[in-house]
Structure 1
Amino acid sequence: MLDQNLKILLVDDENSIIEACSEFLINLGYPEPYVANSGSEALKTALLKKPDLILMDINLKGSMTGIEAAEAIQAKGLKPCLVFLTGQGSGEWIDRASCAAAPQAYLLKPINGLNLHASIQVAMANHRNKEALMAQKLATEKAMKKYTAIFENSLVGICFVDGNGIIEAINRRGVEILGGRASGELVGEDLLHFHDSIMSLEAVSANSGTDRGESEDLSDDSSKLKDVLSASVNNGRVDFRKLYEKLLYSGPIVHLEHTITKLNGQTANLIISASAIAVGDGPGGVVWVYEDVTEMRELEATRNSNQRLMGAMEMAGALAHEMNQSLQYILGYSQLLVEDIKDTTKLCDCVDNPVFREMEDSAVKIGAAAFKVGEITSRMARVSRYATKEYLPGTHIIDLDAASGKGLEE
């Protein structure tokens, strides 16, 4: 289709060719071209007019050849469609022009309207295709930079494993989680080096969500992984090609908690997800996503311990309160009993009676014991931290003095 708004620059050192080509272009329906008789003039005109198409004579007279002029124009950042005009059809000139300026077409002199129009149409089509491919390439490179940045800076570890279980790519967080120092240290490694236990059916059963009292979703994924692995084992080892096909068919596994041993020997609690990824027409692989929950689990353990301690403290306080109620009665009645015995012995004039003396001593002992238990319950009510002491070899009990802060008060 003829583009009537096409800006054309015609460059030749022979005025007769410029006049003939200009007439051909106008008769074909193209707008009147800009013209130049030398390479330097072509460069100035191109920078000023920014043409869409340049028809350039290769063998220009003067300080610049057509090839050099085309290179100079391209060096200024202009990327017009380029057609070289030449009266020499030798391969040497064409090779030089192709390597230097990468034209979209060649047009041999003498020129007529028919081959001029055909060359322009072919050249512009090639140029548009090239521009579209370049734009697509730039968009792809931009997207790749974006996705690479997302991949590398993700807060979770991401690892891509091929059909043989070999790590092909891993991000920075993944390297950190697996205990490495750089991705190059892990790329090419066998994933089973880290997941030998997760790849066993026994480990999957032991790590099921219901055993930890967690949600049914985790249990379902543990069962799902067990089923997937059952269908993927070959000669006692996980066949990652079968694993890929099974995951591709059954869908991803998410949020399976597992403990691994890192390269540095440390252990880590991870939440692991696995998903099959198809890569074009070639063989796919499995993407493993890791979230390190070691610190979270430690905080949960501390929180649970604190909650248990708080429950024990509240129970101790409640017991102390209830015991104090009864102790007040025991202590009060023991004191009344002592007074009654004394009054009775005076009235009966039997102060030295051994029976009454024994009764009085017993009442005093009951009161003393009640008072001592009262001190213990008072310390129970003040328990504010967890402290133990050895009661018997290998057996520890709560240290009420330390737990209630008695030592600190003194």
Structure 2
Amino acid sequence: MTHAHIMVVEDENIVAKDINHRLKSLGYDVPAVASSGAEAIRKAAQTLPDLVLMDIRLKGDMDGVETADQMRRQFNIPVVYLTAYADNSTLQRAKVTEPFGYILKPFEERELYTCIEVALYKHHTECKLRESEQWLATTLRCIGDGVIATDMAGRVKFINRVAELLTGWTQQEALDKAITEIFHTLSEDRDDSCAILVAEAIREGHAIDFSNRAILVANDGTGTPIDYSAASIRGDRGQVVGAVVVFRDVTERRQAEEKLRYLSTHDILTGLYNRAYFEEEVLRLERGRHFPVSVIMSDVDGFKLINDTEGHAAGDTVLRDAAYVLKSAFRGEDVVTRFGGDEFAILLPGTDDEAVAEAMARLRHGMAAYNALHSSRPLTISLGSATAQTGPLADALKEADRRMYQEKALNRLRETGT
């Protein structure tokens, strides 16, 4: 690598000129020569050379070892020591500054050239590696997933910002702790799932997906629903050296899923079950032989008139009030459904004729209580019930519907006084 900029730090003027001449004959540029540590640091800041040839014995308060250490820390400039000192004490001090070479005077020109070229190449390679590490570290800090890396024993060696926020542990607090202490999960499928997952990833040497309904318990005891997976980390020889766990907060996704599930089984206006869910329950009860099963069909009287004269908003209010009265009269296991329009249906598992009659009485009592408070617009619901002792439920539905329309006709006659 020719035309690299090499700075010379040498307190002997004649030696410095000789080194300068040799460097130029090898094709290098020499942007600066310094004889003291302070001068070297000042000129390095001005010229930013590619490499510094550093004598250990210098003028001033700083020797070459101290100067090289400051250059490395401040400017990340590689240093090659060019010195007559090879005693063990000096060598040990020099090693701490992580030099890229150590040449003893007197030296051969070829030796100098070889050492400089190797140092420049090594520094270039380390800079590329450091840059890649910085890109990786920045990526891990900025991605939306939490990342925790461990060694073979499951001790935490890295935790990114998202993982810090979700676990409640900072990287400083988490380092060298067992991952099960930092990444504590509760799972519906298995106990101590994180420890099993990490151990499996290390043992199998490949990625293990574990996207179950897990709850990550943070340091303060709060829980967050997550999906997570683990994979082994391999060294430069392909050997497994640890594992990485990647996880994400799925709170919003779970909420969206719950909302979709709710909307698929419920009527938006009334909050009751919808007809699709009702029909699924009919099939389930028939398959499971949960007999006797009773059915109540109901219809709001005069609903069309309310819609026509007072508007749909008033009609919606009547339907919501009817749904409230209906739901209040039945058990939690009963399937109270908006069947369509102003028609409602109720499935009552394990209910015979006597029990359904009691349920109908509760419902009528609930309507009376409602009407006592809403005399300006009383609520009248026509009802019909039937019980299937052995099945099928379709026959009971038809009979309950028939009886409901029979009662509706009687209510209409009462209203007209005929």
Aligned to 1:6: 4
SS at match of 1:63: coil
Q: Partner of 1:351 in structure 2? A: none
Q: Verify: 1:94 aligned to 2:91, yes or no.
A: yes
Report the CA distance shift for 1:393/1:250 in structure 2 as closer, same or farther (over 3 A).
same
| Rounded Cα–Cα distance in structure 1 between residues aligned with 2:207 and 2:43 | 64
Given candidates 122, 129, 136, the residue that maps to 1:140 is 136
Assess if the C-alpha contact under 8 Å between 2:201 and 2:207 holds in 1: no
**Distance in 2, Cα, partners of 1:127 & 1:249:** 34
Read off the aligned partner of 1:40 and give its amino acid letter.
A
Amino acid at match of 2:18: A
Query: Structure 2, unaligned stretches of length 5 or more?
Result: 235-239, 279-296, 305-316, 331-356, 378-418
The Cα offsets for residues 17-43 of structure 1, whole Å up to 9 and x where unpaired, read as 112112211222222452222223222
**Which residue in 1 is equivalent to 2:299?**
316
- Kindly provide the amino acid, as one letter, of the partner of residue 401 in structure 1: A
* Cα distance in 2 between the residues matched to 1:284 and 1:36: 49
Moved over 6 A (4+): 158-170, 172-176, 182-186, 239-245, 247-251, 283-290, 309-312
**Structure 2 equivalent of residue 329 of structure 1:** none
2:362 aligns to what?
396
State the Cα distance separating 1:112 from its structure 2 match.
3.2
Q: 2:14 aligns with which of 9, 16, 20?
A: 16
Structure 1 residues 277 and 109, CA gap change in structure 2 (3 angstroms) = closer
Answer yes or no: is the 8 Å Cα contact 1:28–1:117 preserved in 2. yes
**Which TM-score applies when normalising by structure 1?**
0.51
Describe the shift of the 1:33–1:113 C-alpha distance in structure 2 as closer, same or farther (beyond 3 A). Answer: farther
Structure 2: distance between partners of 1:257 and 1:284 = 22
| Separation (CA, whole Å) in 2 of partners of 1:98 and 1:159 | 34
Q: Provide the rounded CA distance (Å) in 2 between the counterparts of 1:34 and 1:161.
A: 47
Measure, in 2, the Cα distance between the counterparts of 1:286 and 1:93: 45
Match of 2:49 in 1: 51
Matches of 1:139 and 1:409 in 2, distance apart? 72
Aligned-pair CA distance for 1:188 = 2.7
| Equivalent position of 2:58 in the other structure | 60
> Which residue of structure 2 lines up, in the alignment, with residue 214 of structure 1?
none
Report the CA distance between 1:289 and its aligned residue. 6.9
Quick one: structure 1 residues 248 and 199, their matched pair in 2 at CA, closer, same or farther if it must change by over 3 Å?
farther
Q: CA deviation at 1:59?
A: 0.7
Secondary structure at 2:8's aligned position in 1?
strand
Contact 2:205–2:231, Cα closer than 8 Å, also in 1? yes
Q: How far 1:58 sits from its partner (Å)? A: 0.5
- The answer to whether the 8 Å contact 2:31/2:49 transfers is no
Higher-helix-fraction structure: 1
Q: 1:86 to 1:294 in 2, by over 3 A?
A: closer
Picking from 79, 82, 93, the partner of 2:79 is 82
Which amino acid in the other structure matches residue 100 of structure 2? Q
8 A contact 1:274–1:287 mirrored in 2: yes
| Partner Cα distance (1:126, 1:400) in 2 | 88
Is the contact made by 2:6 and 2:50 (CA closer than 8 Å) also made in structure 1? yes
Identify unmatched segments of 5+ residues in structure 1: 153-157, 177-181, 201-238, 323-380
Is the partner of 2:299 in helix, strand or coil?
A: helix
Which of 115, 118, 138 aligns to 2:114? It is: 118
Q: Could you say if the C-alpha distance between residues 244 and 384 of structure 1 is closer, same or farther in structure 2, counting changes exceeding 3 Å?
A: same
Structure 2 residue 338 is matched with structure 1 residue 409 = no
- Alpha-carbon separation, structure 2, partners of 1:409 and 1:106: 102
What pairs up with 1:102-181 in 2 under 5 angstroms? 102-147=98-143, 150-152=144-146
The equivalences for 1:3-402 within 5 A come to 3=2, 5-75=3-73, 77-99=74-96, 101-147=97-143, 150-152=144-146, 188=180, 194-195=186-187, 198=189, 277-280=231-234, 281=240, 291=250, 293=254, 297=258, 304=266, 306=270, 308=272, 316-317=299-300, 320=302, 384-385=320-321, 386-387=324-325, 392=358, 396-398=362-364, 399-402=366-369
| Structure 1 or 2: more strand by fraction | 2
